[in-house]
Amino acid sequence: MDIHINGKTIPINMDGDTPLLWVIRDELNYTGTKFGCGKALCGACTVHVDGEPVRSCSFPLKAAEGRKITTIEGLNDKVSVAVQKAWVDNHVPQCGYCQSGQVMSAVALLRAKPKPSDQDIDNALGGHICRCGTYQRIRTAIHQAAKSIG
């Protein structure tokens, strides 16, 4: 089958039950998407499928057929740039391992809700775990990004 990822179409010869995460990481070498739990509990593997945030560790390759996948490497719009700048400005990343996933969810949130409330942020980011405890700064950064987009 073909996979449509970050604007490219690439033929893939892998078992259709393979979780999308491992296609992305081990086959396509987009290692920005991380493995954290394998059970959709931590959000480190979050990518966009047709613009929606999805836990790629629990999303089979075959379900991606005909759909557009975006990983952290494929982010380049105004919202993404604003989010990534806000991440840097607010000293968000510590170890950084979970942050690709957090950024993917933050970008999806801001595209859907340009002025999110704290509750919106909890709903959109509540599925993510950060062991370094960067949550307070993630919240501030999302509000800052929202403001900067205008």
Query: Rule CB under 8 A: which residues touch other proteins?
Result: 14-15, 18-19, 21-22, 25-27, 29-39, 41-42, 44, 71-73, 75, 83-84, 87-89, 91-100, 103, 121-122, 125-139
Q: How far is the CB of 57 from other proteins (least distance, A)?
A: 9
Q: How far is the CB of 65 from other proteins (least distance, A)?
A: 18
Instruction: Give CA–CA dist 22/132, Å, rounded.
Output: 25
Q: Which residue, 95 or 112, is less far from other proteins as judged by CB?
A: 95
Instruction: Give CA–CA dist 116/110, Å, rounded.
Output: 7
Q: Which residue, 27 or 68, is less far from other proteins as judged by CB?
A: 27
Q: Identify the bridge partners of residue 54 per DSSP, sorted by sequence position.
A: 47
Q: How far is the CB of 129 from other proteins (least distance, A)?
A: 5
Q: Which residue, 60 or 111, is less far from other proteins as judged by CB?
A: 60
E strand or H helix that includes residue 135: helix 135-149
Q: How far is the CB of 93 from other proteins (least distance, A)?
A: 4
**Helical H runs in 62-127?**
78-89, 99-112, 118-125
Closest CA to 19 of 1, 48, 39, 43: 39
Q: Which residue, 19 or 53, is less far from other proteins as judged by CB?
A: 19
Closest CA to 75 of 45, 108, 43: 108
Q: How far is the CB of 149 from other proteins (least distance, A)?
A: 16
Closest CA to 21 of 50, 53, 47: 47
Q: Which residue, 2 or 136, is less far from other proteins as judged by CB?
A: 136
